[in-house]
Amino acid sequence: MRFIIIGHGGHSKVITDMILTNPKNKIVGYLDDHYKEIHFIKNQVHGPILWAKVLAKYYEDIKFIFAIGDNKVRQSIVQNLSIPIEYYSTITHPTATISPSVKIGYGTVVMPHAVINADAAIGNHCIINSGSVVEHDCVIDDFVHVCPHSTLTGSVQLAEGVLTGAGSTMLPKVKIGKWATIGAGATVTQNIPPYCTAVGIPAKVKSYNQKSVERGVLIDKYS
């Protein structure tokens, strides 16, 4: 399979290694907005992200994959490109353990030594990072980033855009609202509202972002 990686920073090194674990794969280019125009380096195309629209037409068998950790940036790029979702590839590292009953959406990456257990469902353009555990019956919406060594115990629900910090733990059946951030090392014992940052053991809301204030998000909906 032929890949173009969107994003050419530190995270792209990991994605590159993942893709090349399969000798049948080939990386034909990197797109990042620090490139101002299209050029070729070692027979690979390098250019700004909007060139994805052109390259999708030029390469019939091309697949795109994100190497961008920021959830909001990935969402914004997907919306701006408006490329059919089938152009985005899902990749999993060979050391990841994934139950046959798991459902994974387009554009999602499952990193080394991650574990995803029975009947979990993962949306589009997510990152299930190194050493993380997604237990049975968890539901993860689009543009979520489960950071390294995060643990989602059974039946946890993460809404769109959630970020779980490295080493955080979500106890069974907790629900975390849209675009919430869980701090590194936090333990979530109860539902967390959207558009907030929660930290500590047990995790408590530390702050809300401006979007939650503008929309008048109600905490009791998630309590």
Catalytic sites, residue numbers: 136
The partner residues of 88 in beta bridges, in order of sequence, read 64
Residue 29 CB: number of other CB atoms within 10 A?
Answer: 24
Cα torsion 68, 1, 134, 75 to 10°: value is 30
Q: Give the position of tokens 């109600």.
A: 218
Cα gap 180→164, rounded to integer Å = 8
For 128, the token pair is 């299930």
Beta-sheet pairing, 44-47 with 39-41: antiparallel
Q: Which amino acid is at 170?
A: M
